[in-house]
Amino acid sequence: QVQLVESGGGLVQAGGSLRLSCAASGITFSSYAMGWYRQAPGKQREMVATITRGDITNYAGSVKGRFTISRDNNKNTVYLQMNSLKPEDTAVYYCKVIAIMNVWGQGTQVTVSS
């Protein structure tokens, strides 16, 4: 059974930084591409960043240059370093195993105040 546990969210002022973590279990972590997604109130869930098993990364245009996704296969963990945060980054952030449908963690709330 795949389990994903996100952590690291919180309240931060605009311009600040946060580092999110997602610990995965129930899979051979190194074999899978991983992604971070977010959902703001009243909006659809959207892709933020993805990382392949070969460490190739991809970012949404709105976060490119500010966010960095990385992974530690020894710890079965994927990270999202978020810098220069903006109020519009406020959302619940989720990680996902790209190839596995409909399995989400509980998410972690990120709130950026202006």
DSSP letters for the chain = --EEEEE--EEEETT--EEEEEEEESS-GGGS-EEEEEE-TTS--EEEEEE-TT--EEE-TTTTTTEEEEEETTTTEEEEEE-S--GGG-EEEEEEETTSTT-----EEEEEE-
Using one digit for the tens of pLDDT, what is the confidence trace for 11-67? 999 999 999 999 999 999 999 999 999 999 999 999 999 999 999 999 999 999 999
In whole angstroms, what is the distance from residue 68 CA to residue 71 CA? 10
In this prediction, what percent of the chain has a pLDDT beyond 70?
100
